[in-house]
Structure 1
Amino acid sequence: MPSVPHITAAKLPSQRGVVRRSPVSVIRRPAAGGGHRFWVRLLPVLAALAVLTHLPSFLRTVWNPDEGFLATQARLLAHGGVLYETVVDRKPPILPWLYEALLGAFGYGSLWPLRTAALLAHIATAALLASTARRRWGGRAGVAAGAGYLLVSAGLAPADTQAATFEVFMLPWTAAAFWCADRRRWMCAGLAAAGAALTKQTGGAVLLPLAWMAWRAARGSGEHGERGARRERIRARTRLALGFLVPLIAVAAALGPGRFLFWTVTGSGSYISASGAWLVVAGRALGNTGILLVSCAGLAVPVAWLAVRRSLPGVVDLWIWLAASAMAVITGFQFYGHYFLQLLPPLVLLGVAALRRLPRWRRPAAAWTALAACGFLAWGLSVPRTDLDHSEEVAAAIGHRTTPGERVLVWGMHPEEYWLADRIPASRYLTAGFLTNFSGGRGDARVGERFAVPGAWQAFRREMAQHPPALIVDDSRGAPYGPRHVQDFKKLLDSQYRPVGSAGGAVLYARRR
């Protein structure tokens, strides 16, 4: 019988690169001592890519009405307004508070502080994705994930990707939540998920992959049998739930639970319905999906290729994250382009995982992604200023017809006109959408007084009686929420106001003396 060779510890295969208790699969750790050098080299590259891909952001006063809404809201909050009472919106409070803080510190004349903060948010998201990919698949994967995210982050219409709006500030929270869960830091993961949900409600979708990761991690660490695994599972999910719920409850208590729940959840029934506008909804959904796929084809095509062949193992958590993000995009049936930004973090990580298994695809994928980023950058630099020119013309007319202390009502969907004119809104409802349910070009489907936010007309009538605006601007321009379609608004104009001019198609009405 042949002798069995003596095996010493030195001859055993090294286990230093393996983490046995991964929640999803075997994970490679970066080589010891290389972390500092990795980040010193990568972070400047990420910063440069972020500046390059979002350069158009700094070249325009306002990119979309959301920015104008938030800027006007911030000014009202800074002058004593109360969120969800005298200053209202259907969104959670983190971004209004951020606008208020930054514009209060740096001045209300420009949105450059918010654009800088948005740039930092993109860099943070890229760095978190790079860290997650590096931990799982090594340094090259980390570089690909960070750079890939920044290249595709400009891959929609410029008004959706260059503006400092909700999704941009939500993404670092979602990436941080996944990063923490990947390291079994369940309380921190829950806190980050709460930050995402308090930035935009759909950010809470990241809880779905987090819950699965908590269950998977507990099942994989059952060192003391099924009972021990069950205890670990309960402990992980409890920490995750506490981290998520405590900040939400605290914010709701501070702002008023009823008002907070109404404006962020229950008061938007008519707004999220697509009844009567399915063709418009379908067209917008297909259009923005197509634009995103053009930008992300270098990542999405390898993922689809391997998914069809079921050759992409060990990334179930990423698939759940992508599916949850897709459900968040669908919620409300609005399908605005900026909603699709929520898909990018899981899609980028899945793309990196797929390209690891398809070495020959890497260069074509990188070339396509870079070329597409250049195309979207050119689009951002050359997109027409039609809406901004209109808003600036109307704002100039408002400034000419009123004094700084006078209240103004803009009956339209461009709240940036208040901010550009530096005038006080006469109503808490900064767009006509709250009073008519008009939203995003859905035509005349479900538009009218009966579809308004519950209680909005009663509050609006009180505002008009207590503080009548010195000037009303009808900026409907033939839209289905114009005065001839909204009888209460028409009565207000006919009884108390007279036309005194026009600007860019908007009609100006001064109060009768």
Structure 2
Amino acid sequence: MLTEAPPSRPPYALRQRARSSIRARPARHYWPRLLLALTALACATHAPSFARPLWNPDEGYLAVQARMLAHGGSLYETVVDRKPPLVPWLYESVFALFGSDSLTPVRVCALAAHVLTAVFLASLARRRWGDRAGRTAGALYLLLSIGLNPEDTQAATFEVFMLPWTAAAMWCADRGRWTWCGVAVAAAFLTKQTGGAMLLPALWLCCRSPRPCTAALKLLTAAAVPIVATALATTPTGFLFWTVTGSGAYASISGSELHVLVRGLTNAAILAAACAGVLPPILRVLRIARTGCGDLWLWLASSTAAVIFGFHFFGHYYLQLVPPLALLATLALHVLPREHLRRSVAATACGAALFATWGFLAPRSDLTHAQRVASAVTARTAPDDRVLIWGMHPETYWLANRPPSTRFLTAGLLTNYSGGRDGGRVGERYGVPGSWPTFHSDLRTRPPSMIVDDSRGEAYGPGRVASLRRILDGYDEVARVDGAVVYERVHAGRAGA
């Protein structure tokens, strides 16, 4: 039976003792061996990532954005999204090196991001609790990082590339490197806005430093400079609008309360099942002893608030919880007897194997639909013809290899349809402010030779959007593909058809 340790021997290894023990024992081969093991484990857990050409619409959106940027587009002007710029720029750079026909090079970058996150967590745990804790933290992160729906964990999207920056911020704060910590917090925010939540645990550690005011000033200054520089490098007003102020209607849950609640509880339950091997040790240690790791608990709390913020609870949001959970589990397993470590790691590994199998066997209904529609678009248009896909699958542009006629790649930006809304707050007046005049201007400047209505009876279809019906007056229906309606401009079909 586990009993509380006597006061003279704390229930966890003090940081000073951990440091001295690390110095005392040779560690010449520790990092090369651990890096090799973590890389192998990352390849095993994320092997399903390479099993299909595309996992979700976010990947498709990023791929289309990257092509638009490569052809002279300007971020937050002619290329828009509600996200910061680092991941679109990453896609653009990878496409410039390896071509834009495959996402495999981007997936390799995502795999490297997971390995880097694991390395930072291993270094944090080793510094605090010793060599074995370092190995445990890195392995637990990689095993838990696939503990959600495969389309959320195997895709190369914003959260995956944000996590190394969040881990790096905590790693720098733990060592009192406040300037670099601020840079990492800024990079996390510029990858996805919720990465800014790392500012809270970083400031907590600032307050525990010998010179808290100086540390906080360095941290905040170093965090602000990259963000301001990025805004100036794009368009300051556009950057502010698209990343901060222009998403009020999107963040509201009005019209989708029940759906959002069910999704949030479902994804929380899936992650809890993936963490079944580590949650009991965490709760047990929390109950019997003071851990003295308030920064880790604050990291978990701020990440939870980041998941809640926005009120959509998509599965990939929950990835932000995995690094602090891995470290807290490592702490708990460091305190408890060693048999708990073996059982917890074995249970987590079995869960990861099930999630990896799910990744290989997951259905491909949305991808199959997008491929069919893309094939129809390719067959009926020339390579330089611009098209308009009225739907929620921007990947269709990428699969068809056709340029879009507008900067708005989904109907959600124009109607606020997203997150399972049932129509209560879906329509032209709920779209991004100022989007419809810009949309009409885009179509006048670059009229699409083909329009695909991919709404398939949803609340943003032509029956609910009068402006779209007027646009379709100049087009003839020529085909139906898997529920999507294909229109061609009157007297402007493909040359030679």
The alignment's TM-score, normalised by the length of structure 2, stands at 0.94
The answer as to whether partners of 1:28 and 1:138 remain within 8 angstroms in 2 is: no
Whole-Å separation in 1 of the counterparts to 2:317 and 2:22: 34
Q: Which amino acid aligns with 1:444?
A: G
The residue matched to 2:203 in structure 1 has which SS? helix
Shift of 1:125: 0.3
Cα distance, 1:26 vs. partner?
7.4
Residues 76-99 of structure 1, C-alpha deviations (whole Å, 9 max, x = no match): 000000000000000000000000
Distance 1:260 1:370 in 2: 42
The AA in structure 1 aligned to 2:317 is Y
User: What displacement does 1:355 show?
Assistant: 1.2
8 Å Cα contact 1:28-1:135 kept in structure 2: no
AA aligned to 1:392 is: Q
Give me the whole-angstrom Cα distance separating, in 2, the residues matched to 1:90 and 1:109. Answer: 24
2:334 corresponds to 1:334: no
Residues 437 and 453, structure 1, Cα contact 8 Å, conserved in 2:
yes
2:295 is matched with: 317
- 8 A Cα contact 2:118 2:142, kept in partner: yes
- Tell me how far apart the structure 2 counterparts of residues 117 and 195 of structure 1 sit (CA, whole Å): 16
Structure 2 equivalent of residue 243 of structure 1: 222
* CA distances 1:84-133 after superposition (whole Å, capped 9, x unpaired): 00000000000000000001110011001100000000000001000000
Check the 8 A contact 2:18/2:130 in 1, yes or no. no
Distance in 1 separating the partners of 2:465 and 2:173? 50
Tell me how far apart the structure 2 counterparts of residues 125 and 401 of structure 1 sit (CA, whole Å). Answer: 45
Structure 2, unaligned stretches of length 5 or more?
1-12, 492-497
Q: 1:72 aligns with which of 20, 41, 64?
A: 64
Give the drift of 1:418. Answer: 0.2
For this pair of structures, how many residues does the alignment match? 478
- Verify: 1:464 aligned to 2:443, yes or no: yes
Structure 1 CA distance for aligned equivalents of residues 14 and 306 of structure 2: 35
Mind listing any 5+ residue stretches in structure 1 that lack a counterpart?
1-16, 219-231
Residue 228 of structure 1: aligned partner:
none
Question: Aligned match of 1:297 in 276, 282, 285?
Answer: 276
C-alpha change, 1:501 and 1:19, in structure 2 (3 Å) is closer
1:53 aligned residue: 45
Give the deviation of 1:183 after TM superposition: 0.3
* CA deviation after TM superposition for structure 1 residue 276, in Å: 2.7
Q: In the TM superposition, what are the counterparts of 1:78-477 in structure 2 within 5 Å? A: 78-218=70-210, 232-307=211-286, 309-359=287-337, 360-477=339-456
Query: Is 2:492 the counterpart of 1:498?
Result: no
- Residue 40 of structure 1, CA deviation: 1.4
Task: Return the offset for 1:242.
Answer: 1.2
- From 475, 487, 496, the counterpart of 1:509: 487
Secondary structure at the residue paired with 1:313? coil
**What do you get for the CA RMSD once the two structures are aligned?**
1.4
- Please report how far the alpha carbon of residue 27 of structure 1 lies from its aligned counterpart in structure 2 after TM superposition: 5.4
Q: CA deviation at 1:502?
A: 1.4
Q: CA deviation at 1:28?
A: 5.3
For 2:280, give the aligned amino acid: V
Deviation at 1:487, TM superposition (A): 0.7
In structure 2, what is the Cα distance between the partners aligned to 1:488 and 1:478?
17
The structural deviation recorded for 1:30 is 1.4
Native 8 Å contact 2:18 2:127 kept in 1 = no
Q: Is the 8 A contact 2:333 2:341 kept in 1?
A: yes
Contact 1:411-1:475 within 8 A present in 2 as well: yes
Q: Which amino acid aligns with 1:101?
A: S
Q: Counterpart amino acid of 1:175?
A: A
* Partner secondary structure for residue 31 of structure 1: helix
**How far apart, in 2, do the equivalents of 1:400 and 1:291 lie?**
41
Q: Distance in 2 between matches of 1:216 and 1:27?
A: 18
Contact 1:448 1:481 in 2 (8 A): yes
- Looking at structure 1, the residues matched to 297 and 71 of structure 2 have their Cα atoms a distance apart, in angstroms, of 45
Q: Distance in 2 between matches of 1:319 and 1:458?
A: 47
Query: C-alpha separation between the residues in 2 aligned to 1:190 and 1:299?
Result: 31
- Give the direction of change, closer, same or farther, for the CA distance of 1:251–1:29 in structure 2 (3 Å limit): farther
2:9 is aligned to none
Task: Work out the CA distance in 1 between the residues paired with 2:434 and 2:364.
Answer: 36
1:288 Cα shift?
0.2
Cα deviation digits, residues 251-290 of structure 1 (max 9, x gap)? 0111121110000000000000001321111101100000
Q: TM-score with structure 1 length normalisation?
A: 0.91
* SS class of match (2:463): helix
TM-fit CA distance, 1:482: 0.5
Code of the residue aligned with 2:57 in structure 1: it is: P
Aligned-partner SS, 1:478: coil
CA distance in structure 2 between the partners assigned to 1:31 and 1:192 by the alignment: 28
CA contact (8 A) 1:54 1:119 kept: yes
Does structure 2 conserve the Cα–Cα contact (< 8 Å) formed by 1:288 and 1:337? yes
Q: Equivalent residue for 1:4?
A: none
* CA gap 1:45/1:84 in 2 versus in 1, 3 angstroms: same
Change (3 A) 1:26 1:216: farther
